[in-house]
């Protein structure tokens, strides 16, 4: 490569620059303590909520006739928390820490209020998922705000103070819930108490936690958010967590599909290097067509009809994966090899 080509390549290389605004704030000591007390109360509230609800679950199950499904009160909270928690860091970089923290506290307060008025198990589980979304936002955003308010040298000391609030909430939650469930419909206050505390936190954060503004209008900020990535991330996490929360009762059925998917993936991935090394696609196509041999398909099908053993079902499901995976990649170069360039787009579609 000569000097001209080198300069051309360097000039054409895209420079990816991700500008993250500096939102650090250094406050006077009295204001710093006030802000930290607000953040500690936020952590105290969400851990009081989770610990108290766990204690009151038997009473809630009896009141709503939920039965064994009452475990979804905790599962729904964890689903909402885990699915949205990875998003708050980047969203706080775009919109600012304080708006994300206020929105998370509002979700927690609204979720607690709706849980207290729940009349059906589905109502309760949906509201708990909303509380989980808020709880995940509080957990992430408060930790980020802590790093913005103090230097790295003093961060450990203030993180320890917040740890005291976490322990206090997790410790007092069961006692408060046990004392409330002894009264008629007292379990509802198990949700209302954290909801009221969350509303108080919202007011205190609004007044005492500093806001470091981020430049740009709302349209510009919304355009910087990867909405497709958010949807894919949330959907992927939910689809993974639901089977785990269900106790993997569908695992026995899923394992029968796994050989098909693995064989198709391996066969499809291996055809690319083979075509690159040999510069030919016909051998790969022939291999896939040989795997489509009707006699072999009939043998594995008849064998599986007479037994339910996984030893027979796994090869049966592996075969279709090989047959579909091997010819999948070379079909496109084979179909476009002899077509004119303007018509290749139609063939690919």
Give the C-alpha separation, 135 to 76, whole Å: 12
Question: What is each CA distance from 49 to 54, 66, 162, 175, in whole angstroms?
Answer: 9, 20, 16, 12
Give the C-alpha separation, 198 to 51, whole Å: 15
Give the C-alpha separation, 315 to 259, whole Å: 8
Provide, rounded to the nearest whole percent, the portion of the chain with pLDDT above 90.
22
Largest CA distance in the chain: 85
Q: Are 173 and 77 in contact (CB under 8 A)?
A: no
Q: Would you say residue 224 has pLDDT above 60? A: yes
What is the domain partition of the chain in residue ranges? Answer: 29-245, 251-348
| Residue 281, number of CB atoms within 10 A of its CB | 19
Which pTM value belongs to this model? 0.64
- The pLDDT value recorded for residue 219 is 73
Over residues 164-182, the pLDDT tens digits come to 888 899 889 899 998 888 8
* Average pLDDT estimate for 4-25: 48
Provide, rounded to the nearest whole percent, the portion of the chain with pLDDT above 70.
59
pLDDT band at 214 (very low <50, low <70, confident <90, very high): low
Q: Would you say residue 250 has pLDDT above 60? A: no
Closest CA to 44 of 208, 200, 152, 203: 200
Angle, vertex CA 238, rays to CA 246 and CA 227, nearest 5: 175
pLDDT band at 287 (very low <50, low <70, confident <90, very high): low
Question: Class for domain 29-245, per CATH?
Answer: mainly alpha
Q: Who's near 150: CB < 8 A, 6+ residues apart? A: 32, 158
Phi, psi (5° rounding) for residue 154? -100, 0
| 99-135 CB burial, b ≥16 within 10 A, e <16 | bbbbbbbbbbbbbbbbbbebeebeebbbbbbbbbbbb
Q: Would you say residue 331 has pLDDT above 70? A: no
- The pLDDT value recorded for residue 48 is 93
Give the C-alpha separation, 149 to 40, whole Å: 14
Residues shown for the chain: 349
Give the C-alpha separation, 318 to 258, whole Å: 8
Q: Would you say residue 193 has pLDDT above 80? A: yes
pLDDT band at 23 (very low <50, low <70, confident <90, very high): low
Q: What is the DSSP string of 87-118?
A: GHHHHHHHH-HHHHHHHHHHHHHHHHHHHHT-
pLDDT band at 319 (very low <50, low <70, confident <90, very high): very low
pLDDT band at 10 (very low <50, low <70, confident <90, very high): very low
pLDDT band at 3 (very low <50, low <70, confident <90, very high): very low
Q: Are 131 and 107 in contact (CB under 8 A)?
A: yes
Give the C-alpha separation, 112 to 46, whole Å: 10
* Average pLDDT estimate for 41-51: 92
User: What is the token pair recorded at 128?
Assistant: 């708990």
Closest CA to 123 of 76, 59, 179, 53: 76
183 DSSP assignment: S
- Token pair 């989770």: residue: 50
- Token pair 């609204």: residue: 110
Over residues 94-136, the pLDDT tens digits come to 888 888 999 999 999 999 999 999 999 999 999 999 999 999 9
Over residues 56-69, the pLDDT tens digits come to 999 999 999 888 88
Q: Which of 3-7, 71-75, 187-191 has the lowest mean pLDDT?
A: 3-7
- The pLDDT value recorded for residue 347 is 40
Q: Would you say residue 295 has pLDDT above 60? A: no
pLDDT band at 188 (very low <50, low <70, confident <90, very high): very high
Q: Would you say residue 44 has pLDDT above 60? A: yes
Over residues 133-156, the pLDDT tens digits come to 999 999 888 888 888 888 777 777
Average pLDDT, the chain: 74
Query: Beta strands of 182-226 (E only): which ranges?
Result: none
* Average pLDDT estimate for 232-248: 70
Q: Are 45 and 65 in contact (CB under 8 A)?
A: no
Query: Beta strands of the chain (E only): which ranges?
Result: none
Range with top average pLDDT, 72-81, 83-92, 235-244: 72-81
pLDDT band at 345 (very low <50, low <70, confident <90, very high): very low
- The pLDDT value recorded for residue 282 is 66
């Amino acid at each position: 490569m000569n000097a001209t080509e080198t300069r051309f390549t360097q000039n054409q290389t895209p420079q990816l620059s991700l500008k993250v605004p500096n939102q650090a704030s250094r406050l006077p000591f009295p204001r710093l303590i006030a802000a930290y007390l607000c953040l500690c109360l936020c952590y105290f509230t969400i851990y009081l909520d989770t610990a108290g609800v766990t204690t009151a679950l038997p009473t809630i199950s009896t009141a709503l006739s939920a039965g064994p499904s009452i475990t979804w009160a905790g599962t729904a909270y964890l689903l909402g928390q885990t699915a949205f928690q990875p998003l708050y860091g980047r969203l706080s970089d775009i919109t600012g820490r304080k708006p994300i923290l206020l929105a998370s506290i509002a979700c927690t307060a609204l979720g607690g209020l709706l849980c207290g008025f729940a009349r059906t198990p589905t109502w309760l589980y949906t509201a708990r998922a909303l509380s989980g979304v808020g709880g995940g936002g509080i957990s992430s955003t408060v930790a980020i705000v802590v790093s913005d308010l103090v230097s790295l040298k003093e961060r450990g000391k203030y993180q320890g103070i917040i740890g005291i609030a976490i322990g206090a909430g997790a410790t007092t939650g069961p006692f408060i819930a046990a004392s409330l469930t002894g009264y008629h419909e007292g379990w509802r206050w198990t949700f209302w108490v954290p909801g009221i505390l969350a509303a108080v936190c919202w007011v205190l954060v609004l007044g005492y936690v500093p806001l470091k503004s981020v430049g740009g209008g709302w349209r510009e900020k919304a355009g910087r958010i990867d909405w497709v990535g958010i949807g894919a991330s949330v959907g992927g996490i939910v689809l993974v967590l639901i089977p785990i929360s269900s106790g993997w009762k569908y695992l026995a059925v899923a394992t029968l599909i796994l050989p098909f998917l693995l064989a198709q993936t391996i066969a499809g991935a291996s055809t690319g290097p083979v075509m690159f090394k040999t510069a030919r696609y016909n051998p790969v196509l022939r291999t896939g067509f040989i795997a489509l041999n009707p006699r072999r398909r009939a043998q594995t099908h008849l064998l599986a009809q007479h037994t339910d053993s996984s030893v027979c079902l796994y090869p049966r499901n592996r075969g279709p994966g090989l047959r579909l995976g091997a010819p999948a990649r070379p079909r496109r170069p084979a179909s476009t090899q002899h077509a004119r360039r303007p018509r290749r787009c139609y063939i690919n579609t």
